Amino acid sequence: MLEWISRFMSGRYGFDRLGQALAILSAICMIFAGLFGSKVMTAIAYIAAIWCIYRILSKKIVYRVNENRKFNELCAKTSAFMKRDRKTYRYFRCTRCKKTIKVPKGRGKIMIVCPHCRNEFIKKT
């Protein structure tokens, strides 16, 4: 039996972080669908589960690696955004290069110089 499974799974992509997130999303949606009887949650749960199984069994490894890389980048950006110290700093985007600039709060109107492109703009902190 194990020999058949190993032969079947050879050349397949397998389980990664995006697959794990899809499996967790599917389980959570199934729990909520069972508690509240929501057909929308049931549909989301089935779609996430089918997508997870499709990714695990896929032989298009390059596509699955790229999907997982993009998911990991999105997770990294989200966690960096959540860790910002919003009590003592304000965050602005440069008008030219669109980079995020961290400025101390409570300084009134100040001229901000972008460290990346040296663009100058005035904002209230």
Per-residue pLDDT at 1: 66
Task: Check if the beta carbon of residue 103 is closer than 8 Å to that of residue 122.
Answer: no
Whose structure tokens read 């995006």?
A: 18
Q: How far apart are CA 62 and CA 42, in angstroms?
A: 30
pLDDT, average across residues 21-44: 94
| pLDDT greater than 80 at residue 2 | no
26: exposed, middle or buried (Cβ count in 10 Å: 0-12, 13-18, 19+): buried
* 80-107 confidence digits (pLDDT tens): 777 777 788 888 999 899 998 989 988 8
